Amino acid sequence: MSNNHLRITNYGLLLAILTAFIFALSPQALALAQGPTPTDDEVNRIAKQLYCPVCESTPLDVCPTEACRQWRELIRTMLAEGKSEAEIKQYFVEHYGARVLAEPPNRLVTYLVPAVVILLGAFMLFRGFQMWLKPSITEADVKKSAKREAKPVQDPYIAKLEEELKNRK
């Protein structure tokens, strides 16, 4: 009787270990081991920084297509696996190109080109305004002015005086 009881207890223990082992390998247990399922807010925090490459100009967090729903689920899975925001974004760029990013990649040329274009435009405007305010003097204007100053207008009083002096001689 006591031997039978012992055998039953051993079987029970074996069964418990076996059940625990099977449960440990189940997808649910694996999911639990990875941590709690990320919420929609956590997923959308990353999704809104990405754009749907299928329907243009639609952020991933609000895109209603099946493709975007799948990508949001992919973000959720990656978050559950412990991937960081940067790693997730990098994955999307590697697979679908930089066009999926809401903001362009942080490269020097991304900021340098617009800055150079803006400076060049500002310089052109500045020179344009300068020229409108002070119109340039052409060579013809200079010659005309020199000619005018070389032949000053005769004062009638001086002319009359010179005439009288001439007559006295």
State the residues that interact with another protein by CB under 8 A: 53-54, 65-67, 69-71, 73-74, 77, 95-97, 120, 123-124, 127, 131, 134, 136-139, 142, 145-146, 149-150, 152
The Cα–Cα gap between 169 and 28 comes to 133
Nearest CA-CA partner of 48 in 58, 38, 34: 58
Shortest spacing between CB 65 and another protein, in angstroms:
7
Least distance to another protein, CB of residue 41, Å: 21
Give the chain's end-to-end CA distance (angstroms, integer): 171
Smallest separation, CB 82 to another protein (Å): 18
Nearest approach in angstroms of CB 109 to another protein is 15
Closest CA relative to residue 97, chosen from 30, 50, 150, 40: 50
Of 6 and 120, which has the nearer Cβ to another protein? 120
- Residue number, 18 or 142, with CB nearest to another protein: 142
Closest by CA position to 65, among listed 92, 49, 47: 47
